[in-house]
Amino acid sequence: MSPSHPTTIVVEGLCFPEGPRWHDGRLFFSDQHDHRVIAMAPDGATETIVEVPQQPSGLGWLPDGRMLVVSMLDRRVLRLDGGQLVEHADLSAFASAPCNDMVVDTHGRAYVGHFGFDMYGGEGPHDASLLLVQPDGAVTVAAAPLQFPNGTVITPDGATLIVGESMGGRLTAFAIAADGSLSDRRLFAQLQGAVPDGICLDAEGAVWIACPLSGRVLRVQDGGEVLQEVRVSHDFAFACMLGGEDRRTLYICTAPTHIPDECRAQRDGRIEMIEVDVPGAGLP
């Protein structure tokens, strides 16, 4: 396994950065507990794109360029139309607890995970599902049961979806059919001592995994071997994304806690970065 190297802090003073996506030359991410979606230029300059009152999470874009954003607490996918957020899909009939990460494919189909239980209300873990939202807003269950489906990626050929099961400590892969349905479930990687949160894919088919309980990001290949490890400045790394002009910049969302009130009080969330050898690939 390659040794860790220090990261560079690009942005500070955030509440809780999550769901990073490289799009149109900028890093987009949700500052969840500050209820806004932010875009960051390569030099670190930030712009608030939209405020999401019920807490933003996963981000993606339709083929026509309109942005989709998961609204966690009311369990909806919203669409940014002309600067205004409108409902794209209501997930509340399928998710009884907050929704979280999302990947949107080249056809405009969105795959959205949810907690499966009230994590902040003291409820014990329950199985959840990965939901499929069609471009017209129709919702079905794409895969179940899953243990806290979280970060999700799609391979460049559009044939495989990989999702991190946080409570299962593993990455799980599915074949994607022409209609977007998922089948042929298999284990991509079983992790030891790591909880997968946000993930991204590189051009060699390896997955970078943010591990919130250990302050590190791991590069894992199919089968589970850990190829690289990056340590961050905080105890918690929540998500990662390969971006930059050549997609060799690994951006990492970090914070000292994930508890909403603590995040808003401390405002010590960060975007960190490190250059890597293998560029990003696939979606998001």
Architecture field, domain 8-275: 6 Propeller (2.120)
Mean of pLDDT values over 44-62? 98
For residue 207, which phi and psi values (nearest 5 degrees)? -115, 130
Q: What is the mean pLDDT of the chain?
A: 94
Half-sphere exposure in the Cβ direction for 278 (13 Å, CA): 16
What does the pLDDT read at residue 120? 65
Comparing 62-66, 155-159, 202-206, 263-267, the range with the smallest average pLDDT is 263-267
Tell me how far apart the alpha carbons of residues 187 and 102 are, in angstroms, rounded to a whole number: 20
Residues 6+ apart with CB under 8 A from 270: 9, 10, 11, 12, 14, 17, 233, 234, 253, 254, 255
Examine the pLDDT at 247 and tell me if it is beyond 90. yes
What does the pLDDT read at residue 206? 98
What does the pLDDT read at residue 121? 66
Kindly list the domain boundaries of the chain, sorted by start residue.
Answer: 8-275
Confidence label for 96 from pLDDT (cuts 50, 70 and 90): confident
Examine the pLDDT at 1 and tell me if it is beyond 70. no
Positive or negative, the CA dihedral 120, 126, 130, 132 is: negative
Confidence label for 210 from pLDDT (cuts 50, 70 and 90): very high
Classify 168 as helix, strand or coil. helix
Mean of pLDDT values over 169-187? 97
Examine the pLDDT at 159 and tell me if it is beyond 90. yes
Confidence label for 235 from pLDDT (cuts 50, 70 and 90): confident
Examine the pLDDT at 249 and tell me if it is beyond 60. yes
What does the pLDDT read at residue 54? 97
Confidence label for 76 from pLDDT (cuts 50, 70 and 90): very high
